[in-house]
Structure 1
């Protein structure tokens, strides 16, 4: 499903497609396909790990805010301890995100500026929910990869060998399908195999190339 093919031309000369979807929807498979077409992929999950590497300014800010316990003996962030803490202290999650979100956004902006492909895909599982705050504002269009809850559960359990309870907890932290889909400029329903997914992505790829050219001409 597509909305009218219009874009905001005031943001950038670069067309940025925000790619999102619930756990097990096939967002990663879609991202991988775009990469095979020569499109640069900016992954918010990867950036979120990069900004808190050992010795990084962001990790030092987290340590200053919460204490030395957030650092393990190897000098890296103790992710398990931090996750457990913010799970039982919701206010701590807000404080943590206030530190990490600006760093993620700035890193994403730097990668966007360095991109050389026809357009760019900015992939973020919580793009709409706001857990990567401000990233949606960097995008001209939002592409949602959608799948039924049964399909999500089946795929996620096979992929990560996670318990159904854990998968459902992750899903509960994400928007429900209807709400997420309402934010979509482009919607791909991914209920079948990879070949069927790729068939739906191909015309979108061509559309994005056309839109990218229009955006470039409008900005010149």
Structure 2
């Protein structure tokens, strides 16, 4: 007899919203997670079919000296040429969805988080019983991303344009985590939400 996979709960938030930090807190209290960003890196590893296609399309400049993907170069291409972003998504999204699904099926915690910056945009919310949305002002997203990734405000804003606005995300939320200030108290917020989710699963 096989075990029934746990309930899938989405964790959505734009770039710089604090998804990784919040996911870590959930992991610490025993909740497993599948992060679409991690999977996106996995499907373009050296010798992967996705990376071979990317290399064939853009040439050697898209690779670093060790044969891995030059993410900075690719980012510049897709944000300067929107048609190339469409091509890239058509290539990688099916591979990402397949791997995400496989990882979700192996989870054993009471529920499993599907962490995705484009959860609604890619319709991955259809996999989820509920969705947690991280509420954070755009100005803070920009500041955090500039500091973390060492990129310009202009480039951050180009990324934000490809994502749903915070307002649109919140309209679709089942649960909301506010992450506008100091993250020291985030652990308590996560624990409170965790208990609420467990209670909801029993209903």
TM superposition score normalised by structure 2:
0.84
Q: Could you say what the CA RMSD is over the residues aligned between the two structures, in angstroms? A: 2.4
Which residue is equivalent to 2:190?
Answer: 201
1:132-170 deviation line (CA, Å, top 9, x unaligned): xx4222211111111122333333344444333333332
1:46-99 deviation line (CA, Å, top 9, x unaligned): 1101111111122234345x2544445543333333333323332222121111
Which residue of 138, 141, 154 maps to 1:165?
154
Q: Work out the number of aligned pairs and report it.
A: 199
Matches of 1:173 and 1:149, distance apart in 2: 14
Which residue of 74, 77, 84 maps to 1:82?
74
Q: How does 1:138-157 map to 2 (within 5 A)?
A: 138-157=127-146
- 1:19 match: secondary structure: strand
Moved over 6 A (4+): none
Matches of 2:151 and 2:88, distance apart in 1: 25
Alignment CA distance shift 1:115-1:54 (3 Å)? same
TM superposition score normalised by structure 1:
0.79
Matches of 1:212 and 1:57, distance apart in 2: 39
Gaps of 5+ in 2: none
Which residue of 40, 43, 52 maps to 1:60?
52
